[in-house]
């Protein structure tokens, strides 16, 4: 019985930046300031997309899904991170860890697919504009978004189930802010070959394939733009793609920086590695969701006009006598 009890754990301890008390204060302050910006910025995009008829297009439909995803992801990770940073309460229950892992993996997988579909939408709009209303109809867009959410959820269920069924032999200290799947797998005291294989398949389906769709979509878009005779048309086409392309570069750049580091970096001092990974983790989990609405708002006249219209309507309603 003792041997069985040592195999399982009831809770995990998230190290985070426990060795850097000054950095913890800085991280707490930065995240505390950014979190309301994330909630407000993404909520405004969703509300504008619903109530402004000018934004009832496929591009803004997918953008609304992306904003909702960012709100869900940060809601599942930021509050617990803030609590651990300020109160030193670093433990998380086994079930809580599983839920956090599921939500994080599901949101990440879904975002990859959504970004790929947004690139395909831009390709059809620029390269095949006459058939755009037919190809990207409302029904098609809803099906594409639904499949993204469903596929991301199923993928996360599989990965989370395989990870949390492993024995941990009493080793419950996770060197991360969150219950990140690779950090948890390092604690397992059993063969994780099946986990590695399924993760590789998942990465191909949810990281590589959408990235290929994005790459070839923009190659065809670039080819079409360069063949345009009108300089105004070229500028307009570039402007409609620039915001999405910026978000893609930030998102994928952060992911590859997190997971594609060379093995030689593991030889660095543990403290330096912990601080670096903490910074990258914060960038991926907080900075990226904050930048998405800012980028789309600054680089898009329709979004800015819709937001101004909503603000003006709110001001008018407040001035009306009750």
Instruction: Identify the pLDDT of residue 263.
Output: 45
The more confident residue out of 236 and 98 is 98
Residues 215, 302: Cα–Cα separation, whole Å = 26
| Least confident span in 261-265, 280-284, 296-300 | 261-265
Q: How far apart are the first and last CA of the chain?
A: 71
pLDDT at 158 over 90: yes
Q: What is the mean pLDDT of residues 219-228?
A: 89
Q: What does pTM read for this prediction? A: 0.87
Cβ contacts of 49 within 8 Å, gap of 6 or more: 55, 56, 60, 61, 63, 64, 306
At 60-101, the pLDDT tens digits run: 899 999 999 999 999 988 888 888 888 777 788 899 999 999
Q: Which pair of structure tokens corresponds to residue 165?
A: 């069924």
DSSP letter assigned to residue 205: I
Residue 299: band (very low, low, confident or very high) from pLDDT cuts 50, 70, 90: low
The structure tokens listed for 25 are 């204060």
Res 109: pLDDT:
93
Domain covering 11-259+270-303, topology: Rhopdopsin 7-helix transmembrane proteins (1.20.1070)
Tokens 């997918």 -> residue? 62
């Amino acid at each position: 019985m003792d041997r069985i009890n040592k195999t399982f754990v009831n809770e995990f301890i998230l190290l985070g930046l426990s060795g850097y008390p000054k950095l913890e204060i800085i991280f707490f302050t930065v995240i505390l300031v950014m979190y309301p910006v994330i909630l407000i910025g993404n909520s405004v995009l969703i509300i504008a997309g619903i109530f402004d008829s000018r934004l009832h297009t496929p591009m803004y439909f997918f953008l609304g899904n992306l904003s909702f995803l960012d709100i869900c992801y940060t809601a599942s990770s930021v509050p617990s991170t803030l609590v651990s940073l300020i109160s030193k309460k670093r433990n998380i229950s086994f079930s809580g860890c599983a839920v956090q892992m599921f939500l994080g993996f599901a949101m990440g997988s879904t975002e990859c697919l959504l970004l790929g579909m947004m690139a395909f939408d831009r390709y059809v709009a620029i390269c095949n504009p006459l058939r755009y209303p037919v190809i990207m109809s409302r029904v098609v867009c809803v099906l594409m978004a639904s499949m993204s959410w469903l596929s991301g959820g199923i993928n996360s269920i599989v990965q989370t189930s395989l990870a949390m069924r492993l024995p941990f032999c009493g080793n419950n200290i996770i060197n991360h802010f969150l219950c990140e799947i690779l950090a948890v797998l390092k604690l397992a005291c059993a063969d994780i070959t099946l986990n590695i294989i399924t993760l590789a398949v998942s990465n191909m389906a949810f990281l590589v394939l959408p990235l290929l769709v994005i790459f070839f979509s923009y190659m065809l878009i670039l080819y079409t733009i360069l063949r345009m005779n009108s300089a105004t048309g070229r500028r307009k086409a570039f402007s409609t793609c620039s915001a999405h392309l910026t978000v893609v570069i930030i998102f994928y750049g952060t992911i590859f920086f997190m997971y594609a580091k060379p093995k030689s970096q593991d030889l660095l001092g543990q403290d330096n590695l912990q601080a670096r990974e903490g910074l990258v983790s914060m960038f991926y989990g907080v900075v990226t969701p904050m930048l998405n609405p800012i980028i789309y708002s600054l680089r898009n006249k329709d979004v800015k006009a819709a937001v101004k219209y909503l603000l003006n309507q709110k001001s008018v309603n407040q001035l009306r006598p009750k």
